[in-house]
Structure 1
């Protein structure tokens, strides 16, 4: 699993860690049942404190994306790979925009304008 943090992102680091792992799961880099590397390894790879990684992992556990199991480490929870939910929302947005006379390029510009 290749994770990167965006140094220009203003969000707290633990949120960035959670987002990076969430995206890796959604993109299929790790599937339900896969075991994540230990927090210490993740922290070294990302260049952040281990407690920061642990806080991000706990956030994902609370969201149901990860499972913590004694003796088995941290694994991706069943059903956590719901990237299709996001794709469905995007598809619905593009379809609604088309009904209102907007192109995909217009939608992209609108999204880029949202901060």
Structure 2
């Protein structure tokens, strides 16, 4: 699961995190029944406070997107996403390009070249 948060944005970090997870569920990058990382592991990987992750998880629980099971973690509770393989691949491609400093125009050129 590749989620990004930006402390420079005006949106609170927990909302950014919840939005990223929600988008991943909706487009199928995270599937129904899939277990999410533990709050502690996700906090460490994103360099966030544990309570920030817990707040995002509780927000998603209240929206009925995930279920929280004490001692067992968080699990996706909804079946969403159409064309999940393609949508997930596109988002993963864009995320990977951003992580590697590849701009939008360069990425589009690479995709066009792959079609030839």
Deviation at 1:23, TM superposition (A): 1.1
Deviation at 1:62, TM superposition (A): 0.1
Deviation at 1:78, TM superposition (A): 2.6
Render the CA deviation track for 1:68-112: whole Å, top value 9, x for unaligned: 124432100033x2579xxxxxxxxxxxxxxxxxxxxxxxxxxxx
Render the CA deviation track for 1:28-81: whole Å, top value 9, x for unaligned: 1110100001001111111110100000000000001000124432100033x2
Deviation at 1:6, TM superposition (A): 2.9
Deviation at 1:24, TM superposition (A): 1.3
The structure showing larger relative contact order (alpha-carbon pairs under 8 Å, at least 6 residues apart) is 2
Which residue pairs with 1:16 in the alignment?
16
CA RMSD between the two structures: 1.8
Counterpart mapping for 1:63-102 below 5 A: 63-79=63-79, 81-82=80-81
Provide TM-score, normalisation by structure 1: 0.65
Q: In structure 1, what is the Cα distance between the partners aligned to 2:37 and 2:29?
A: 13
In structure 2, stretches of 5+ residues that fail to align are 84-116
Q: In structure 1, what is the Cα distance between the partners aligned to 2:57 and 2:34?
A: 14
Aligned residues: 83
Q: In structure 1, what is the Cα distance between the partners aligned to 2:2 and 2:30?
A: 10
Structure exhibiting the larger radius of gyration computed from Cα positions: 1
Q: In structure 1, what is the Cα distance between the partners aligned to 2:20 and 2:78?
A: 18
In structure 1, stretches of 5+ residues that fail to align are 85-115
Which residue pairs with 1:88 in the alignment?
none
Provide TM-score, normalisation by structure 2: 0.64
